[in-house]
Structure 1
Amino acid sequence: MKLWGGRFKTEESKLMEDFNTSLPFDRRLYKQDIVGSIAHVNMLSKCNILTGEEAGKIEEGLKSILEDIESGKLSVEGDYEDIHSFMEVNLIKRIGELGKKLHTSRSRNDQVAVDMRMFAKEEAIEIANELGLLLETIKKLADENRVIMPGYTHLQRAQVVTFKHHMMAYYSMFSRDKKRVENAIDILDESPLGCCALAGTTYDIDRNVTSDALGFKKPVDNFMDGVSDRDYLLELCSCFSIIMMHMSRLSEELIIWSSQEFKFVDMSDAFSTGSSIMPQKKNPDAAELIRGKTGRVYGSLMSLLTTLKGLPLAYNKDMQEDKEQFFDSLDTVMACIKVMNGMLSTIKVNEGNMRKAVKHGFLNATEVADYLVNKGVAFRDAHGIVGQIVIYCEDKGCGIEDLSLEEFQKFDDSFGDDIYGFIDYDNVLEKGIKKYL
């Protein structure tokens, strides 16, 4: 049974049937479709469009379908056009001709629109919750490792920071990501049920009843917008892309830091893999996969933007293509957040190697220039003087702090004994970022 066909003279091509069907992916919306349908029939009863007895029998039938799906007695599969036809056909099988009244004053356009909004809202809340857990892990890792390390620009050692300060930069990024997702939830929280195909219905329905029953803030303002709006999916896919970008940046650093050349961190065996030929290898595959899957999420966003860019109002079949892109993006970002959380919760920080890297990076050069400025030397002159000091230390194979006072004074007689305390790395941290920790 199809939900249409009365005006057709010939049967649909089997090729078209297969091409048109969306059940293989929109079956994921089975629960939202049932919950939305129950809210719809109860509203019809309150508005005296269905009797209370009719609504009760339909609701009972829908709940039995949900129970059988979730228990495994009923599989969401078969020769159905979509999840909506699956539900209606199975409802009619269970309660008879009364099941045909389910679709009164409703179109598949507003039906799928409300299903997708409900699904997107529920899953976005889960993403926000997972980000909250990731934030807790980052904070714990940072607090337990307030160790000195090099900070980088251009992947060159620049100034001294702490591992905590570095990780808390990602804490800030993921905090913004969580806010973005929560903002997207707030914006999408409107019900399109009752818009019907595009122009509402001549039945005297009450859209506030279904909106309240389904947990939305309010019904949408415009029927045509209600059935054709997919902005919320675009916004969530954009949020997911930014989350993945941040996780990819962090993954890149973890990959670099875990290399033998750095050895700043050790990745847990639980989130690493080995080589089939080189027995010594321990590869940071969890981080590499997150970095790789970032492009996949970007692709979903661009695909959805491209699908929607030229569509006239209101509903068009092109919009069926929104689901696979959104589902894949959602599943990917959810898995990556969980893996990142597990990876960070099991990582080991190597303080000794980080401190050694600080020692050999001239990371107190800026402070030497600041010292000279405090002694009355113009900053541009101080900058040049310190550049010469760095060359001297490179040739000598030592750190700036290893120079004698006499050596310092060869470059400028403003240097005094207080230079050593001024450029001590721990003192530099105390004067700099530690006051913000």
Structure 2
Amino acid sequence: MSDLLWQKAGVATNARIMAFTAGDDVILDREFFLHDIAASKAHVQGLANIGVVSGDDAAALLRELDVLATDFESGAFVLDARYEDGHSAIEARLTERMGDAGRRVHTGRSRNDQILVATRLWLKDKLDELEAHCRAIATVCLDRAAQPALPLPGYTHLQRAVVSSTAMWFAGFAEGYIDNLLRARQTREWIDANPLGTAAGYGVNLPLDRAYTTQALGFARMQVSPVYAQLSRGKFEMAAMEALGSAMLDLRRLAWDLSLFTTAEFGFVVLPAEYTTGSSIMPNKRNPDVVELLRASYAPVAAARCEIEQLLSLPSGYQRDLQFSKGSLYHGVRHGLMALALLPDLLARLQWNEAAMRAAIEPAMYATDVAIEQAAAGVPFRDAYRAAANVATHAGSGRTPEASLAQRVSPGAGLDLRLDALRARLDALAS
């Protein structure tokens, strides 16, 4: 490991202690490194704006930071165990290339606001990705809901309940992902605040040009209080995980449906072949492994959020405990976005087995229709309910799923899906 930024003369370091305190930081920082470089460029120009760094030195530092970014992307520069973390790597590289000018780059900032701003920029990008996935999922669901509806048994308590349709199933998840898109956007707006220039959490004795860095980095506003900048660490990450978790909860329920619908006992859905795998021992098997893993994918997202939350039993000010939030955040977000990215293609290509769905619709499932019809004709609903229950197995005599759906005229139901309203809501959220 290169010389530590904070090392004092005469104080030895212990390799095992350093391995523990550094952890996986330098590896995780590869994910945030380009954002850290971008923030460093804004900081350098901000220092030049207030005369702390000369114009010539600033121009040279900016060039070197651009070269570092290019070298990192090409693999010519590797962020590895030579460095304690990405922040120290940037300063070490600039010092190596530029001497004293490179040593000035850390003036007026701390690694605390470096990780805050890099994480905040990274989260904004990831919430943009989340929004894009939610939009793609909602669009596919709306497109498939607009196709001719096929009868589908509707379940409550996993028991056959009433007649539903494939269009209603898709419309339900379409609206869910429109809401998830909105939540992702609102969360992004909430965390879109620039912490750069808050240093270790108490400001510095320099008139830092924080208005410039806020604009240069594309933040909507400045995070004014240095104390709150530290208090918000973990809090903002949890908000992003909650937005992701909302989309993952809907994914889990959708995957549960598909897990059931693809069984031989249901037989409602056929998955694209590449979304299934073979058994290692049973030649007859094709297993819906992808769907099962999608169903499980809420777990790492929820676990990541929980781990961050458990770190936040802290007083105000920076505490080193927060270092552990980085790995949780990265792994949870990475897994969740990877899972959501698979869903549009899967939904677009799954096939319904109409015959199996029709066969599962039994006469008793029309009992609610009978009760509502009698109530509409003037019979008190509870009397109509009891009468329909008593003849439930005969209630559907002569009825068809299409007729049941055609009579379902309440807004959002079988005859009135309001797909145009849902699509208008989605379009209104266009970037």
TM-score normalised per structure 1 = 0.90
Cα offset, 1:145, TM superposition: 4.6
Q: CA deviation at 1:374?
A: 4.3
* Change in 2 beyond 3 A, CA 1:374/1:25: closer
Per-residue CA deviations over 1:82-130 (Å, capped at 9, x if unaligned) read 1101111111112222100101111111111111101111111111112
CA contact (8 A) 1:68 1:74 kept: yes
8 Å Cα contact 1:20/1:81 also seen in 2: no
Alignment of 1:26-37 (within 5 A): 26-37=29-40
Structure 1 pair 11/148, CA: closer, same or farther in 2 (3 Å)? same
Number of the residue aligned with 1:317: 320
Rounded Cα–Cα distance in structure 1 between residues aligned with 2:269 and 2:261: 6
Give the AA of the match of 2:388.
V
- Residue 404 of structure 2 is matched in structure 1 by 428
Q: Tell me the residue number matched to 1:24.
A: 27
Q: Distance in 2 between matches of 1:435 and 1:52?
A: 65
Give the Cα–Cα distance (whole angstroms) in 1 for the partners of residues 231 and 13 of structure 2.
26
The letter of the residue matching 1:425 is P
Q: Partners of 1:376 and 1:126 in 2: how far apart? A: 53
Aligned counterparts of 1:260 and 1:239: Cα–Cα separation in 2: 35
Q: Counterparts of 1:227 and 1:14 in 2: how far apart (Å)? A: 29
- Name 1:412's counterpart in structure 2: none
Alignment-mate amino acid for residue 105 of structure 1 = G
C-alpha separation in 2, matches of 1:3 and 1:400: 79
Q: Deviation at 1:69?
A: 0.9
Q: What is the CA deviation profile of residues 204-262 of structure 1, one whole-angstrom value per residue up to 9, with x for unaligned ones?
A: 22100001000001211211111341221000111122221110110000010111111
Equivalent-residue separation in structure 2 for 1:431 and 1:188 (angstroms): 46
| Counterpart for residue 188 of structure 1 | 191
Work out whether residues 286 and 339 of structure 1, in 8 Å CA contact, stay in contact via their aligned partners in 2. no
2:44 is the counterpart of 1:41: yes
Q: 2:311 is paired with a residue of what secondary structure? A: helix
Asked if 2 retains the 8 angstrom alpha-carbon contact of 1:198 and 1:224, the reply is yes
Alpha-carbon deviations, 1:351-390, whole Å to 9, x = none?
22212222x2522111222333345443333322222213
Distance in 1 between residues matched to 2:402 and 2:345, nearest whole Å: 31
> How many angstroms apart in 1 are the aligned matches of 2:381 and 2:115?
65
Q: Which runs of 5+ in 1 are unaligned?
A: 394-398, 403-419
The answer on whether the counterparts of 1:92 and 1:99 sit within 8 Å (CA) in structure 2 is yes
| 1:11 and 2:12 aligned | yes
CA contact (8 A) 1:145 1:349 kept: no
Letter in 2 for 1:430: A
Residue type of the alignment partner of 1:262: F
Contact 1:27 1:82 in 2 (8 A): no
2:91 and 2:311 map into 1 onto residues whose CA distance is: 29
User: Aligned to 1:242, which of 231, 243, 246?
Assistant: 246
- Identify if the C-alpha distance between structure 1 residues 180 and 72 changes in structure 2 by more than 3 Å, giving closer, same or farther: same
2:386 to 371, 384, 387: 384
Secondary structure in 2 aligned to 1:150?
strand
1:161-205: per-residue Cα shift (whole Å, max 9, x none)?
211111211111111111111111001111011111111111122
Given that 2:83 and 2:89 are in contact with CA atoms closer than 8 Å, whether structure 1 keeps it comes out as yes
Distance (Å, rounded) in 2 between the aligned partners of 1:196 and 1:122: 23
Q: 1:275 — aligned with what? A: 279
Q: Say which SS state the counterpart of residue 277 (structure 2) adopts.
A: coil
Identify the residue that residue 343 of structure 1 maps to in structure 2. 346
Percent identity over the alignment is 28
Bigger mean CA deviation after superposition, 362-371 or 376-385? 376-385
- What is the deviation of 1:5? 2.0
Matched, 1:297 2:292: no
Alignment of 1:105-120 (within 5 A): 105-120=108-123
Q: Does the Cα contact within 8 Å between 1:157 and 1:361 map onto a contact in 2? A: no
Q: Does 1:197 align with 2:200?
A: yes
Counterpart of 1:373 (choices 372, 375, 378) is 375
Aligned to 1:70: 73
CA displacement at 1:321 relative to structure 2 = 0.9
- Per the alignment, residue 225 of structure 1 pairs with 228
Residues 134 and 247, structure 2, Cα contact 8 Å, conserved in 1: no
Q: 1:212 to 1:11 in 2, by over 3 A?
A: same
Count matched residues.
Answer: 408
Taking only aligned residues, the RMSD between alpha carbons, in angstroms, comes to: 1.6
Indicate if the aligned counterparts of 2:367 and 2:396 stay in contact, CA closer than 8 A: no
Moved more, 86-95 or 250-259: 86-95
Task: Name the aligned partner's letter for residue 53 of structure 2.
Answer: L
Structure 2: distance between partners of 1:385 and 1:294: 43
TM-score (norm 2): 0.91
Answer yes or no: is 1:60 the counterpart of 2:66. Answer: no
The answer on 1:157 being equivalent to 2:138 is no
| CA–CA distance in structure 2, aligned partners of residues 145 and 79 of structure 1 | 61
**Cα pair distance change 1:14/1:145, threshold 3 Å:** farther
For 1:220 and 1:368, the matched residues in 2 are separated by 60
Return the alpha-carbon distance in structure 1 between the equivalents of residues 378 and 331 of structure 2: 61
Asked whether 1:253 is paired with 2:229, we answer: no
- The one-letter code sitting in structure 2 at the alignment partner of 1:15 is R
Q: Counterpart of 1:132 in structure 2: which amino acid?
A: R
2:126 maps to 123
* Structure 2 unaligned blocks of 5 or more: 419-431
For 1:107 and 1:73, the matched residues in 2 are separated by: 27
**1:139 is matched with which residue: 137, 142, 148?**
142
2:87 aligns with one of 75, 84, 87: 84
Q: Partner residue of 1:407?
A: none
1:5 & 1:312 partners in 2: Cα distance? 26
Would you say the 8 A contact 2:270–2:352 is kept in 1?
yes
Given that 1:300 and 1:328 are in contact with CA atoms closer than 8 Å, whether structure 2 keeps it comes out as yes
Correspondence for 1:413:
none
* Conserved? CA contact 1:192–1:226, under 8 Å: yes
Distance 2:31 2:83 in 1: 14
